Chains A and B, each alone.
Chain A
Amino acid sequence: MKDRLQKIREEAISKIQASDSLEKLNEIKVAILGKKGELTEVLKGMKDVAAEDRPAVGQMVNDTRAAIEEKLEEVKNNLSKAMREAKLKSEVIDVTLPAKKNNVGHRHPNTIALEELQRIFVGMGYEVVEGPEVEYDYYNFEALNIPANHPAKDEQDTFYINDKIVLRTQTSPVQARVMEKGKLPIRMIAPGRVFRADEVDATHSPSFHQVEGLVVDKNVTFADLKGTLAQFAKELFGEETKVKFRPHHFPFTEPSAEMDVTCFKCGGKGCRMCKDSGWIEILGCGMVHPNVFKMCGIDPEEYTGFAFGIGLERIALLKYEIDDMRLLYENDVRFLKQF
């Protein structure tokens, strides 16, 4: 009995060892451990074993079974592993084949520039407001200290709907509309479309965009104007950016200035973009003119404020080095895709 078990054990283990597939392994399992298997046969013969020997023989059968099962499991694991590896090997792909893209659309460079500006000023506590594009002459000019027949009205090449209504030439009328409401203090920017009677060419468009800024409060100073716009320039063009304020004239601010930033292409060394000056003109600004306050019902002895106006296309053209303004309104997807 003992010999028989030993033989079954040795033969089984050597067969298991030699199997090269899960199917063969299963056949061996059935042949030995199955209902009609060799070991099962042995168990069936237990009734012929003397009663006192049965525990020992039983133990021997169980040991044999355990040893075979252990070996089966071991070889099965090895085989599975080898098969997984073979499968992985067969599944190698060329990772350099083209990607499957969703072909996401692209935002207009003007909008990208505007969103940058909004992010910066909203972060500084400015509310973004809008005003009408077709505007009363009063808000576009008179309320901004540009009285009837002022030469500035001609300078801006205004489109007229009638004597009283114009296409706004600037976003500044939004200033007057917000101040008129009388809710103080004010920190706002007003982006939007403006119109001037310029023929279309590489640097002109009869329709373009501005962003107006206005701060009104007690004790607002020219120093605050400088600080705010210097911070804005650093955020938009990089921490290294320096600013320069030059005296200028606008009817609705006094003192007035134009702000230059160090050329963001050459860093101020001088290049084609900044015409070798190292500086690029970015915006106009100034302290709100007392006459504008008076027109809007704010006491200029109590309140002061500053305002600024930025040409959005100018920022977009400079920042993205676009050499022809017409591209912004043609909507050729080969252009738009680059943003």
Chain B
Amino acid sequence: MNTPLSWIKAYVPELECTDQEYTDAMTLSGTKVENFERLDADLDKIIIGQIEKIERHPDADKLVICQVNVGNETIQIVTGAQNVKEGIKVPVVLDGGRVAGGHDGSRTKGGIKIKKGKLRGVESYGMMCSIEELGSSRDFYPEAPEDGIYIFPDTAVVGSDAIEALGLHDTVFEYEITSNRVDCFGVIGIAREAAATFKKPFVPPVVTQTGRGGNAADEISVEVQAPDLCTRYCARVVKNVKISPSPEWMQRRLAASGIRPINNLVDITNYVMEEFGQPMHAYDLSTIAGKKIIVRRADEGEKFMTLDGQERILDNNMLMICDAEKSIGIAGIMGGENSKITDDVKDVLFEAATFDGTNIRLSAKRVGLRTDASGKFEKGLDPENAKAAIDRACQLIEELGAGEVVSGMVDVYPNPVKPKRIKIEMDKINSLLGTDVSLDTAKEYFKRLEIEYDDATGEAVIPTFRQDLLGRADMAEEVARFFGYDNIPVSLPSGEATAGKLSFKMRVESVARDIAEFCGFSQGMTYSFESPKVFDKLMLPEDSPLRKTVNIMNPLGEDFSVMRTTSLNGMLVSLATNYNRRNKNVRLYELGNIYLPKSLPVTELPEERMQFTLGMYGDGDFFDMKGVIEEFFDKIGLSKKEEYDPTDKKPYLHPGRQADIIYDGRKVGYLGEVHPQVAENYGIGDRAYIAVIDMPEIVDLATFDRKYTGIAKYPAVTRDIAMVMPKDILVGQVEKVFDEKGGKLLESYNLFDIYEGAQIKSGYKSVAYSLSFRALDRTLEDKDIVAVMDKILAALKDMGIELRS
């Protein structure tokens, strides 16, 4: 909502403040000023001058030399403007003054300084201005010539302030009005708040009796067939309309509010909409069949041409304004082509109605047409305001001589709204706010807001325009606003102490972040929704369960249309971004949810599973990735040995370089090298590695409990063994033998050599381990170790593993 301060001051005449003071005070009392613009900020030393004489420039065909009377003197100005004539009155910027911008409408911050100088050798002591140079445009000053100097009417006073004459000594404030304050979507509502904020008298426009005889009821009848959707319908008639430009003051106020002046009739409806927040519509009375208005629901599938020339298809939840034969407007949204006002209109029907806000909002959405009017109606307007607005419009018509207003109004208003009453209990208001405001003080705040207080019942009587005030909490806010949020004291909650804490899940996630970062991975974040096409990029088969997704009904586009069922795509896209930007040795991790539907179609919330995803390219390989996982598991108390199962064959991973991670018999994640085809699909030109840990599984197993087990006092004994085994035996199988047969005495083992090639028969590999034995209670003897080694070697032999001689 943009409104010039001059308009507010018209209703709060005693208001005296700077622009900044106004901004601050209004914002603190709840009418937030987003920003303001001084219309004359870049204008300086511009007065009204009259051209007395025009001569040709001796050395330039396109320039003329003007002698311009600027009041106390006559100065010489050289101009290239085509529309100069002797006798016209024009804005003149004097030597040392400033204009806002160029002739083409471009603006210069701080304005452009104008100095006297020579044009093709002839002295020029100033400049005559176009409306664009004054920082505005023909949209708002339609009388300005299309190309040339702005020309004032003959009544303009030579030597007086041109900025004043154009109404540019003003400041336009832009407000952020919250959706509950319907009343503040009109100048009157804001002015009422301004008066209350500055404790000044509020003087709204007074609408006197209008009409020059006759009776509207003889001209028109109104039938509301859908009273649930149309709470009030006011109709008045104006005869012998004379379309002409509206007066300057009205044009200026509309222009400053960002509304283009058009003609008196249109301007009056726009003016009243700005002033009262009540949209109105004007119909050509001669087009209304049967002199009758019927408000009813549209027929299903009904086609209707709105006044913008578009055909709209309606449904029977939409409300229509009709005459005895046909539809003439979509209620609250836009009138029809068939009843629109043309320049040769004679008699006009004015409509000011109120409709069900939700219905208008939904209809506007369905018909795909959101107008200024529907934007106001959808907030749910006050029916009392409709009558005030239509009377105001008629008053303006009379004042402007735009037509002959017929007396009386046809008013269909079956259920007049009654002012609500809210009990005021100051003790409860004060205990909610933490204040000590007296009832008298509160009553004084209420009075400023036109809220009456009924001493007999202790109730506040809420004016109908304040539809937001429904209960005690709302009244507490009114008290707080005018007591001043700043004046409310500051304290801390005093109740029983509570323990601040993170959940166990969050603590485990926090360790995941620490470990990932220690291992060189930086944290990324990616979107929760992605394109269904990613499943093809990941080479998932058609029947993959990961393709069963939770879908968004109204996505921003296909690329953001399904909730992810795997975190891989986000990670691969991020790696690819880095790869494309030539970042080397990139390591990233993410902690984010995947969303698995419990049923399709979705009937309940999907399962959200936190995934700890690691991805890297550059330095490092499969085993670096494996190391990160094992470090993490160690830190969260997963002390058993992880197992790696290479048999699952995930299509997006290298078939020979991948494994499920098994812990305590449970599958808790997987890791592997990204399949080269998938890497290519994403544009990653390097070997990339991925690991995904399914956090719910891990959180279940994690523990931060630790028990000290003592540091060994007796020496360890080591035995090295070198084995020759078929290539397809995994060292994991060998280690499993160590674990199972090593007993209590085998403290640890360490792979120190693995070799294939010369000296080893083809299809075999050589693997060497160092085994470390120790007892907690004694020094081991050779026979102890031999006994264990025999068991281990026997088991290895059974697997076809020989000791290397």
- Chain A residues within 8 Å of B, Cβ to Cβ: 102-108, 110-111, 118, 121-130, 132-136, 149, 151-152, 154-155, 159-162, 165, 167, 185, 187, 193, 195, 197, 199, 206-207, 215, 217-224, 226-228, 230-231, 244-249, 254-257, 287, 289-290, 304, 328-334, 336-337
Inter-chain contacts of B750 with A (CB < 8 A): none
Cβ-defined contact, A221 with B554, below 8 A: no
Cβ-defined contact, B473 with A105, below 8 A: no
Query: Which residue of A is nearest B526, CB measured?
Result: A329
Cβ-defined contact, B525 with A197, below 8 A: no
Query: Which residue of B is nearest A118, CB measured?
Result: B502
With an 8 A cutoff between CB atoms, is B472 at the interface? Answer: yes
A-B contact pairs, 18 of them (CB 8 A): A105-B520, A122-B500, A125-B497, A134-B595, A162-B601, A167-B529, A187-B500, A193-B528, A206-B529, A207-B529, A219-B495, A226-B490, A227-B491, A246-B485, A304-B431, A329-B527, A331-B574, A336-B524
In the bound assembly, the distance between CA atoms of A254 and B491 in angstroms comes to 19
In the bound assembly, the distance between CA atoms of A185 and B550 in angstroms comes to 36
Inter-chain contacts of B263 with A (CB < 8 A): none
Smallest beta-carbon distance A176→chain B, Å: 14
With an 8 A cutoff between CB atoms, is B639 at the interface? Answer: no
Chain B residues 508 to 548 lying within 8 A of chain A, measured CB to CB, are 513, 516-529
Smallest beta-carbon distance B451→chain A, Å: 16
Which of A105, A149, A230, A255 is close to B362, meaning CB atoms less than 8 Å apart? A149
With an 8 A cutoff between CB atoms, is B29 at the interface? Answer: yes
In the bound assembly, the distance between CA atoms of A218 and B496 in angstroms comes to 10
Cβ-defined contact, A228 with B492, below 8 A: yes
Contacts A155-B179, A334-B583: A185 and B495 contacting too (C-beta < 8 A)? yes
A to B contact number (C-beta, < 8 Å): 247
Cβ-defined contact, A246 with B379, below 8 A: no
Smallest beta-carbon distance B662→chain A, Å: 26
In the bound assembly, the distance between CA atoms of A230 and B365 in angstroms comes to 42
Cβ-defined contact, A125 with B552, below 8 A: no
Cβ-defined contact, A105 with B488, below 8 A: no
**Candidate in B29, B432, B592, B608 with the most chain A CB atoms within 10 angstroms:** B432
- Chain B residues within 8 Å of A, Cβ to Cβ: 27-30, 32, 178-181, 357-358, 361-362, 365, 378-379, 431-435, 468, 471-474, 476-477, 480-481, 485-486, 488-503, 505-506, 513, 516-529, 550-556, 560, 563, 574, 577-578, 581, 583, 585-589, 592-593, 595, 601-602, 605-606, 608
Query: Which residue of A is nearest B32, CB measured?
Result: A246
Cβ-defined contact, B525 with A218, below 8 A: no
Which of B485, B505, B518, B554 is close to A160, meaning CB atoms less than 8 Å apart? B554
Query: Which residue of A is nearest B490, CB measured?
Result: A227
Inter-chain contacts of B556 with A (CB < 8 A): 197, 199, 206
Contacts A127-B500, A246-B30: A207 and B435 contacting too (C-beta < 8 A)? no
Cβ-defined contact, A246 with B554, below 8 A: no
**Candidate in A221, A330, A331, A337 with the most chain B CB atoms within 10 angstroms:** A331
In the bound assembly, the distance between CA atoms of A332 and B574 in angstroms comes to 7
Contacts A130-B503, A134-B606, A160-B553: A105 and B522 contacting too (C-beta < 8 A)? yes
In the A-B complex, the 3 residue pairs with the closest CB atoms:
A223-B434, A221-B434, A247-B30
Query: Which residue of B is nearest A162, CB measured?
Result: B602
Cβ-defined contact, A126 with B498, below 8 A: yes
Inter-chain contacts of B529 with A (CB < 8 A): 159, 167, 206-207
Cβ-defined contact, B552 with A159, below 8 A: yes
Cβ-defined contact, B486 with A197, below 8 A: no
Query: Which residue of A is nearest B477, CB measured?
Result: A255
Cβ-defined contact, B480 with A222, below 8 A: yes
Inter-chain contacts of B365 with A (CB < 8 A): 154
In the bound assembly, the distance between CA atoms of A130 and B529 in angstroms comes to 20
Which of A133, A159, A249 is close to B181, meaning CB atoms less than 8 Å apart? A249
Inter-chain contacts of A248 with B (CB < 8 A): 30, 32, 178
Inter-chain contacts of B506 with A (CB < 8 A): 128, 130
Inter-chain contacts of A162 with B (CB < 8 A): 553, 601-602
Inter-chain contacts of A226 with B (CB < 8 A): 485, 488-491
Smallest beta-carbon distance A81→chain B, Å: 38
Query: Which residue of A is nearest B359, CB measured?
Result: A149
Which of A106, A136, A206, A257 is close to B605, meaning CB atoms less than 8 Å apart? A136
